Amino acid sequence: MVTMAEFVEGLNITALGVTVVFAVLTILALVLYFVGWLERRLIDRETSGKAPIPTKVEEVPKVKEAKPEIPPRDLAVITAAILAYTAEKAAQLRPLPFKRKVSDSWRLYGIQTTMEDVEDFNYEKGKW
């Protein structure tokens, strides 16, 4: 039997262990947060030093970029060529043959259930 003193000692050790684990996790979280903060500060300092802010901003008129239009016939020919190429590559690929060994326990289970189904069928028909 466990005495009350041993039980209380076990609870104290458990509480101490949980407290130590959470304290270490808290310290690790704070260290990681500080490293992230420091990295953001260093990156901000590097980017702010390289790109000076212009004093006067000039408005540049936006030019609408025209997409080169492909005639539908040419688009159909290109699409057919791509599909023919991918079909040819797919035809060249062949699956690797391998045989999977079926576990004996599954094979025996299958045989057993088949036998039970036959027995149940014969019993229902009144042949037994």
Contact 103, 109 (CB under 8 A): no
Tokens 């808290």 correspond to 26
Query: How far apart are the C-alpha atoms of 128 and 125, rounded to whole Å?
Result: 8
Query: How far apart are the C-alpha atoms of 16 and 36, rounded to whole Å?
Result: 30
Sorting pLDDT into bands at 50, 70 and 90, what band is 55? Answer: low
Segment 105-112 mean pLDDT: 75
Domain ranges of the chain: 1-50
Query: How far apart are the C-alpha atoms of 121 and 114, rounded to whole Å?
Result: 11
Contact 10, 3 (CB under 8 A): no
Tokens 């027995």 correspond to 119
For 59-125, list the strands marked E by DSSP: none
pLDDT of 102 over the 70 cut: no
Read off the pLDDT of residues 31-47 as tens digits, 9 standing for 90 and up: 999 999 999 998 888 88
DSSP classification of residue 126: T
pLDDT of residue 50: 60
Query: How far apart are the C-alpha atoms of 20 and 4, rounded to whole Å?
Result: 24
Non-local CB neighbours of 78 within 8 Å, separated by 6+ positions: 70
